[in-house]
Amino acid sequence: MAQRMESDATMFQAQTYMHESEPQAVNPMKRAKPKYRAENENDENGDLSNNIMYDRRVVRGNTHAAQIVTQNAQMEMERIRILNDKEFKRNQARIKRERNKRPSTPPPIEGRVHTDCQTDRYLEELTDRPIETEAETQTEAILDRPPSPHFMPAKTGVDVETQIDPELVFDFDVEVTPILEVIVGKTLQTSMLEVMEEEELSAIRKRQDEFEQMRDAELLEVQRLEAEAARAFDEKNRRLKQEKERKRLQKELKEKIAARSFAKNYTSDLTSSVFATLEEAGHFYDPVNREVEQLFLPWLLDEVVSNADAVQAAQSATDSLIKEALKKTTELQKKAKKQYEKKQKALEEARKLKEKMEEERLKKEREEMAAKEAAEE
């Protein structure tokens, strides 16, 4: 009877909670999760949470002295932690991508190229655009889709009935005692833990208050020391500035004293040098010498220059006359030379003509004599 009821309940549950899902292909490239963890998994992933040396909650150094951490240091530590977490996540994502990355085709060797080919049993024509065909159909509006039938799983097994006495199965008075003991004990234990937790929390709050007071006192002491150091530094700078100002004033005083002594030494013989300079400049002079230099000497120089100019003019006129005479003499000589050459040429021509006439006469006489001799013979 119980098994039949269980079978009916199973069928009712199957009818009530029915779920259908489409079949999905299994990705062969996706690696299944290993059953056991690798030995070097922590080293590869950088997970060192089990090592207390890398746990941020572990305090290092002297635990008796209070650690004063400023707000800027806390912000800097938080920023560094966030950057490290981001870097760790990026590395994990990169490692995961490299693991899931599908291996690509290796490059072709030298002298060959890759080509696309089909590996199916039946070859198909490869085209950029698939073949398209148009088809039409029309269904009547009154014909609706029939409802899907309910899924009824097939009945398996054989129904069997039996009868059991309730007293043999469960005795409440006997079985409830250990359960009550466990519940009461657990309740008391939980209550004690809660009380201890409250006491621990109160102790922690008290310790936190004491720690806050100590930290505030130490912060005040640190601020006092910093203020004292700042005052000492300011006092040092002020003293250095005063010393520099004193040295500058002392240097200016020395320069003024040196300038005064130099001016005194320089102006000791200034009067004599001034009078000598004025005398050289002509402010103090002898009237006779001044008259000779300014009146007599200029007149004398003018007279000498005028006489020299007159002499030079006379010499120039004489030179020009001599040049004209020489020029005329040269022209007359050239003219006489030309006439002489012309006369000599005429005489030479007359002499040549006379010689020619004499030769003709002699030639004629020879011819006549030759003719006479020929006639006589």
Residue 17 in this model has a pLDDT that exceeds 90: no
Per-residue exposure over 153-189, b if at least 16 CB sit within 10 Å of its own CB, e if not:
eeeeeeeeeeeeeeeeeeeeeeeeeeeeeeeeeeeee
Following DSSP, what letter does each residue of 217-252 receive, concatenated?
HHHHHHHHHHHHHHHHHHHHHHHHHHHHHHHHHHHH
pTM listed for this prediction: 0.24
Distances 235 to 228, 261, 299 between C-alpha atoms, Å: 10, 39, 86
Are 153 and 11 in contact by the 8 Å Cβ rule? The answer is yes
Asked if residue 74 is part of any domain, the answer here is no
User: Please, what is the average pLDDT of the chain?
Assistant: 79
Number of structural domains, the chain?
1
Domain that holds residue 310: 287-370
CA dist 167 and 312 (Å) reads 178
Asked if residue 144 is part of any domain, the answer here is no
Asked if residue 159 is part of any domain, the answer here is no
Asked if residue 10 is part of any domain, the answer here is no
Asked if residue 292 is part of any domain, the answer here is yes
Mean pLDDT of 342-371: 85
Residue 38 in this model has a pLDDT that exceeds 60: no
Following DSSP, what letter does each residue of 274-303 receive, concatenated?
HHHHHHHHTSS--HHHHHIIIIIHHHHHHH
Following DSSP, what letter does each residue of 136-186 receive, concatenated?
-----TT-PPPPPPPP-PPP-S--------HHHH--HHHHHHHHHHHHHHH
Asked if residue 277 is part of any domain, the answer here is no
Asked if residue 362 is part of any domain, the answer here is yes
Q: Which residue has the higher pLDDT, 215 or 47?
A: 215
Asked if residue 297 is part of any domain, the answer here is yes
CA dist 149 and 267 (Å) reads 136
Res 67: pLDDT: 59
Residue 188 in this model has a pLDDT that exceeds 90: yes
What would the pLDDT profile of 40-49 be if each residue is shown by its tens digit?
Answer: 544 444 444 5
